[in-house]
Amino acid sequence: MCGIIGYIGNEEATELLLNGLEKLEYRGYDSAGLAVFDGRNLKVAKSKGRLKVLREVLKNNGGLKGKAGIGHTRWATHGKPSDENSHPHVSTLRKFAVVHNGIIENYLSIKNFLISKGKKFSSETDTEVIAQLLEYYDNGNTLDTVVKVLNDIKGSYAIGIIYEDNPEEIIAAKKDNPLIIGIGENENFITSDVTAIVSKTKNIVRLKDSEIAVIKSDDVIIYDMNKNFVKKEIKVIDWNIDSAEKCGYDHFMLKEIMEQPKAVKDTICSKIKENEIFFDKFLFSKEYLEKINKIFIIACGSAYHVGYVGKYLFEKLFKKPVEVDIASEFRYRDPIVDKNSLVILISQSGETADTLAALRKSKQLGARTLSIVNVIGSSIATESDDVFHTRAGPEIAVATTKAYSAQLCAIYLLAIYFSRKLNTISLKKYNYFIKELIYLPEKISKVFNITEQIRNFSKNFYQAKNVFFIGRNLDYVVSLEGSLKLKEISYIHAEAYAAGELKHGTISLIENNTLIVATLTQKSLVGKTVSNIKEVKARGAIVLLVVTKEVLLKDEHNLKNICDFVFILPDICDEMSPSVSVVPLQLLSYYIALMRGCDIDKPRNLAKSVTVE
């Protein structure tokens, strides 16, 4: 949600900032802007629309010259996308320019106060109050002024500030939104995400909540809210530039789909040594696992769908009750959580506001918290008691694919590990699962053999108005993900239904030529799902069957004749089937969206990291 970049050094800032914003555009893309100190004054350029529009504006007005600046790419919260509402926002006397990611909840009262003091507002945003308040408190000491402002504002923020009277430094601060400082040689950066600076430096410092960084070209000093120095360790990131580039693919989404075998392999290998599952960073003893009365799995969107897989697997293997919850619901209901509850939070970004709030609530209620997070050092990873880091690498496309797959692996590993500890699965079963895990990347790669078939199928169905995804058990859970993928990137209305539930209402929507995608991997449920397929066929639907080879070979039900199209998957144990069955659904969404001319990596109205409620 909004991307922030800042630069101070010896190079011209504008191109560096624009290049950084290009990498951050996935976080929001309804408008963009820059503020650069040109040696005398702060100069601002901003515009509604994608970054390319801002580039045009800069070309037409001669550009911004200067070696210190801040930039922003926006996902609107307060005020529609417009030139005026774009960041950076400047104060009335144009002394301060500010970029912000987050929401200032008490902005209205501050705004009214500042208007009464003569400040002139030019936008509808909450952010502008920060710039105006900085100027109101300005006493020549930037740190002092910033602390006063941060004490007044309520809400969440990552902010970058540039101050005309002290252009030798840029200031950054954060609360509940990510902000990273990139340390270069005689140049330094601020950014919402390391992908924006990885081509320039791999040395980073992650700001914590309520820390303020004063960044000069040759120095970075970090303070707490009492203006005391904070000593921070410089971390070296191991991401390479390729992670932030398309590397010949037309879209990040396709690249990331194809990277799934590696994401899965890296995640699994991080926890398997000599055919045993290992968790060296945290310890779930037998005694602790016995005491667990309930597991809660909390997440949003696709990560929530992974949580659903977790529910089926933990209940099947670990034999403990599991509740899976949407984070935005969990945080405002009264869940029965106590010290014997284990709360598992799943998040790619580790910054999703609702998931973070659910984590904090769970801790308050006394639960032990374990997060499954892709971004190292993110808020959710930092605040939870234990962390399982997935190894998907940076995910740029707004629609998640490889992070989802890596999260699935984390769930498998935990469920198998817990179950073996309590002996709810036999050693034989455990060894079998380990083998299945090791072969998983290869099986996912095999699904790519049907890519051309999926592309051809998409040619015939990209104009569909409605698509229904059905399945039972884990096939239902994968259907949820398939339908979300299709909706979010192709804008086709899609619904996922538990196959047995269709007849309780939704079947009334099925008419001649309605496309149904039926997933069938759960061996014990074949007959049941086939009955549901027959029900929709009888009402004129066209059925695409996504099925494992094993199920199809048995084919007691004559599936090939009942269904109109068949995508065949490699054989896989029931428990890990989502890892292979999701791949054709991802590819189907991708090709349908491609044929519809959609902006696949940046679907309308969306942003990658949802740091607001």
Sites of contact with ligand F6R (CB under 6 A): 300-303, 347-349, 352, 355, 399-400, 484, 488, 609-610
Task: Establish whether 608 is a catalytic residue.
Answer: yes
The whole-angstrom separation of Cα 373 and Cα 256 is: 17
- At closest approach, how far in Å is the CB of 595 from ligand F6R? 19
- At closest approach, how far in Å is the CB of 498 from ligand F6R? 20
β 211-215/203-206 pair status: unpaired
Cα 533 to Cα 213, 347, 390, 573, 580: the distances in Å are 59, 34, 36, 22, 21
- At closest approach, how far in Å is the CB of 304 from ligand F6R? 7
The residue (of 92 and 379) whose beta carbon lies closer to ligand F6R is: 379
The residue (of 353 and 551) whose beta carbon lies closer to ligand F6R is: 353
Helix-then-strand count for the chain, H and E: 20, 26
- DSSP calls for 468-512: EEEESTHHHHHHHHHHHHHHHHH--EEEEEEGGGGGGTGGGG--T
The residue assigned the tokens 């004490």 is 151
The residue (of 26 and 318) whose beta carbon lies closer to ligand F6R is: 26
- At closest approach, how far in Å is the CB of 427 from ligand F6R? 34
The residue (of 174 and 200) whose beta carbon lies closer to ligand F6R is: 174
Catalytic residue among 67, 111, 487, 608: 608
- At closest approach, how far in Å is the CB of 394 from ligand F6R? 12
The whole-angstrom separation of Cα 455 and Cα 38 is: 51
The residue (of 134 and 303) whose beta carbon lies closer to ligand F6R is: 303
The whole-angstrom separation of Cα 476 and Cα 283 is: 32
The whole-angstrom separation of Cα 374 and Cα 387 is: 10
The residue (of 541 and 583) whose beta carbon lies closer to ligand F6R is: 583
The residue (of 400 and 581) whose beta carbon lies closer to ligand F6R is: 400
Q: Which residue is nearest to ligand F6R (CB)?
A: 301
- At closest approach, how far in Å is the CB of 342 from ligand F6R? 19
Task: Establish whether 247 is a catalytic residue.
Answer: no
The residue (of 85 and 609) whose beta carbon lies closer to ligand F6R is: 609
Token pair, residue 62, equals 């001669």
Q: Is the dihedral of CA 551, 554, 556, 558 positive or negative?
A: positive
β 3-8/68-74 pair status: antiparallel
Token pair, residue 145, equals 């002024």
What is the four-CA torsion angle of 530, 534, 535, 541, rounded to 10 degrees?
120
Catalytic residue among 2, 300, 409, 598: 2
- At closest approach, how far in Å is the CB of 372 from ligand F6R? 9
The whole-angstrom separation of Cα 573 and Cα 582 is: 14
Token pair, residue 189, equals 């950066």
Three-state SS for 193-222 is: CHHHCCCCCCEEEECCCCEEEEECCCCEEE
Would you give the DSSP letter of residue 270?
T
- At closest approach, how far in Å is the CB of 106 from ligand F6R? 26
The residue (of 346 and 547) whose beta carbon lies closer to ligand F6R is: 346
What is the four-CA torsion angle of 458, 462, 464, 466, rounded to 10 degrees?
80
Q: Which residue, among 361, 286, 351, 306, has the nearest Cα to 329 in the 3D structure?
A: 361
The residue (of 322 and 345) whose beta carbon lies closer to ligand F6R is: 345
Cα 518 to Cα 162, 536, 542, 563: the distances in Å are 55, 10, 10, 9
- At closest approach, how far in Å is the CB of 312 from ligand F6R? 18
The whole-angstrom separation of Cα 387 and Cα 414 is: 12
- At closest approach, how far in Å is the CB of 537 from ligand F6R? 30
The whole-angstrom separation of Cα 526 and Cα 548 is: 11
Find all residues with CB under 8 Å of 424, minimum gap 6, and list them: 317, 318, 319
What are 235's strand-pairing partners? 204
End-to-end CA distance of the chain: 11
**Phi and psi of 197, rounded to 5°?**
-125, 0
Catalytic residue IDs: 2, 608
